[in-house]
Chain A
Amino acid sequence: MKVVWPDNKRIAIMMSFDIDAETLWYQRSSKDDYRDHITNISRGTYGPQTGVPRILKMLDTHDIKATFYVPGWVAEQHTETIREVLRRGHEVAAHGYEHEEKGPYSQEEDEAIMEKAETALWETVGVKPVGHRGPGGVIGDYSIAMFYRRGYIYSSNWRDSDGPFFHKIDGKEIPLVEFPKDSIYDDGFYMCTFSEPMRQSMKSPQEAIEMMRDEFDGLAEEGGRMMTFVFHPQLSGHPGRCKLLSEFIGYMKANGAWFARSDEAACYLIEQHGPFEPVEL
């Protein structure tokens, strides 16, 4: 799909942060009953407690808005943090209830998780999410229809192209945009953690930004493209990482980036598309 971004900007940048907090540790440990590993859990707490405030301050410096994918449980446990995210003008989108990622799930199971996640976001911070990112990227055959039926206007789950594109049902495009992502935009890849959850690769903040900047330069040159990220405040919210991310944002701003919340970008594309053919679910 050939896109022309607002103000003829070269590329759309959707800053995105997954506030997984402690759920990342509960889900990813290979040992049973990780919930009592006090110091590892505190690494998850770092996200909402320290990383998010630092990131919010950084985003304010650049006067840009971002999307925060928030598991329902995190909205319950760290309600004030999520309220502050909203107060500062950012978007809150769906990301499971407790970051469930041990799929594949049956449609019933997945729907139940979505219901629980959406209820939690509504009851804690009054948000009905219009965007979805599956924790651990777990997606089933039924997912597109399910997102469409549940009122989502975008998904950030696919990895098969640089996007953006519209999802289809029965070969017809529906007003459900895909903002693809992958490990190259995921700070989990760039930051090794010695203890659980184990990761082998480790890049300095400088090298990580260099790799993403190369992607930015390449995609910006192609025109009509986008980038979205999988940054975790408990990782990218660390002082050095956040500092270099800030510099990278400055670079992107200076080189033709249109910064937008994901819901904003989705609305823009849906409007640009014009009428959609009716589809039967």
Chain B
Amino acid sequence: MVVWPNDTNLAVALTFEFDAEMYWYGKDPKCIKTFANLSRGQYGPHEGIYRVIKMLDRQEVKATFFIPGWVAENYPEQVELIHAKGHEIAYHGYMHEEKRGISRAEEEERMEKCEKIIAGITGKRPVGHRGPGSIIHPFTMELLAERGYLYSSNMKNTNSPYFHAHNGNNVVELPVDEYLDDATYYFFSYSPFTHNNIHAPNFVNDCWRTDFDALCQEPGSVLVFKCHPQLIGRAGRVRRFSELIGYMKTHGAWIAPAESIARYVLAQSE
């Protein structure tokens, strides 16, 4: 069991999936043909991302951005800004692909392509992985170990970090949770896979703060927020999220990029 640094109670990773239009493409290619959805996707790079970055600056915290390769190619200014501000950039597919049953070769090719794109911006290959739409494949962990990834942030089976071991390589798992995903509260569309429910940010804070408070009582836990600039980037939502970040800081949270948390976990285990 990990003991977090500097007398903190809980490691907290603020992660953002900067998907832009690709958020909709991965779900059903027809969705992307609906102007409304396309436009909603663009709210991220046009508006939401700037608000999120400003808020993180104000709170003086560093975050992790999972960015599809296509988004990095098409919104270079925004992605460079994320990097310039000192946040981590990690793997999230090329066009936010959510198809299951692909071959190992296909995934490997995609990883190679996207790792190069990210390295072109940050100067190094990503060390973290999150499958778009929560999709990973039976060989994903093996690939991560082979390709020198430090962590995966995909599984939903627990609240504390653990290891995926392959041939002597340890990939840290920083588990996630549907209820710490802003899409559960803010995702809205009239398109086929309808989810017609928008919640108030205070309501969301009630849910998230309660989980935070409870996990502070369980040593060695980790809390990974999974947000989307096109969703949480609305003015009211970012503001409330900022308040929650303030609350967590006051209550013993160690807020750090996923990479830092994973490195710490690995170091503690050695």
Q: Which residues of A contact B (CB under 8 A)?
A: 36-40, 42-43, 45-46, 49-50, 54, 191-195, 198, 200-202, 204-207, 238-244
Q: Which residues of B contact A239 (CB under 8 A)?
A: 159, 210-211, 214-215, 218, 221
A38 and B138 within 8 A (CB): yes
Chain A: minimal CB distance from B98 (Å): 10
- Chain B residues with CB below 8 A from A202, complex form: 184-185, 197, 199
Contact (Cβ within 8 A) A240 B213: yes
Pull 11 A–B residue pairs with CB atoms less than 8 Å apart, ordered by A. Answer: A38-B140, A39-B154, A42-B155, A194-B181, A198-B195, A200-B197, A206-B206, A239-B218, A240-B209, A240-B214, A241-B210
- Contact of A50 with B157 at beta-carbon distance under 8 Å, contacts A39-B131, A204-B206 already known: yes
Please report the C-alpha to C-alpha distance between residue A201 and residue B199 in the assembled complex, in whole angstroms: 10
CB <8 Å contact, B137 and A38: yes
A40 touches B210 (CB 8 A): no
Q: Is the CB of A43 within 8 A of B185?
A: no
Nearest CB in chain A: distance from B36 CB, A = 19
Q: Specify the chain B residue showing the minimal Cβ separation from A46.
A: B157
The reply to whether the CB of B59 lies closer than 8 angstroms to some CB of chain A is no
Q: Which of chain A's residues have a CB closer than 8 A to the CB of B214?
A: 239-240, 242-243
Closest approach, in angstroms, between the C-beta of A104 and any C-beta of chain B? Answer: 28
Q: How far is the CA of A50 from the CA of B195 in the complex (A)?
A: 28
Q: Could you tell me if A204 and B134 are in contact, using CB atoms closer than 8 angstroms?
A: no
CA distance A37 to B100 in the complex (A): 8
A-side contacts of B75, CB under 8 Å: none
- Residue numbers in B under 8 Å from A194 (CB-CB): 178, 181, 183-184, 187, 195
Are B159's CB and A36's CB within 8 A?
no
Give CA–CA (A192, B199) in the complex, Å. Answer: 12
- Shortest CB–CB separation between residue B63 and chain A, in angstroms? 21
The number of A-B residue pairs with CB atoms under 8 Å apart is 96
Whether A200 pairs with B157 at a CB distance below 8 angstroms is no
Instruction: Report the minimum CB–CB distance from A64 to chain B (whole Å).
Output: 19
- Tell me how far the C-beta of B232 lies from the nearest C-beta in chain A, rounded to whole angstroms: 14
CB-defined contacts of A200 to chain B, threshold 8 Å: 195-197
Give bound CA distance, A40 to B136, whole Å: 10
Residues of A near B211 (CB, < 8 A) are 238-240
Q: Are A192 and B197 in contact, with the CB atoms below 8 A?
A: yes
- Residues on B with C-beta less than 8 A from A39 are 131, 134-136, 154-156
Q: In the complex where A192-B197, A239-B215 touch, is A43 in contact with B178 (Cβ < 8 A)? A: yes
Asked, given contacts A38-B136, A42-B155, A242-B214, whether A205 binds B207 with beta carbons under 8 Å apart, the answer is yes
A-side contacts of B97, CB under 8 Å: none
Closest-by-CB residue of B relative to A38 is B136
Q: How far is the CB of A239 from chain B (nearest CB, A)?
A: 3
Confirm or deny: B108 has a beta carbon within 8 angstroms of a beta carbon on chain A: no
Q: Would you give the shortest CB distance from B245 to chain A, in whole angstroms? A: 17
Q: How far is the CB of B183 from chain A (nearest CB, A)?
A: 5
**Least CB distance, B210 to chain A, in whole angstroms:** 3
Say whether B158 faces chain A, with CB atoms less than 8 Å apart: yes
Query: In chain A, what residue has the closest Cβ to B179?
Result: A238
Report Cα–Cα, A238/B179, bound state, in Å: 9
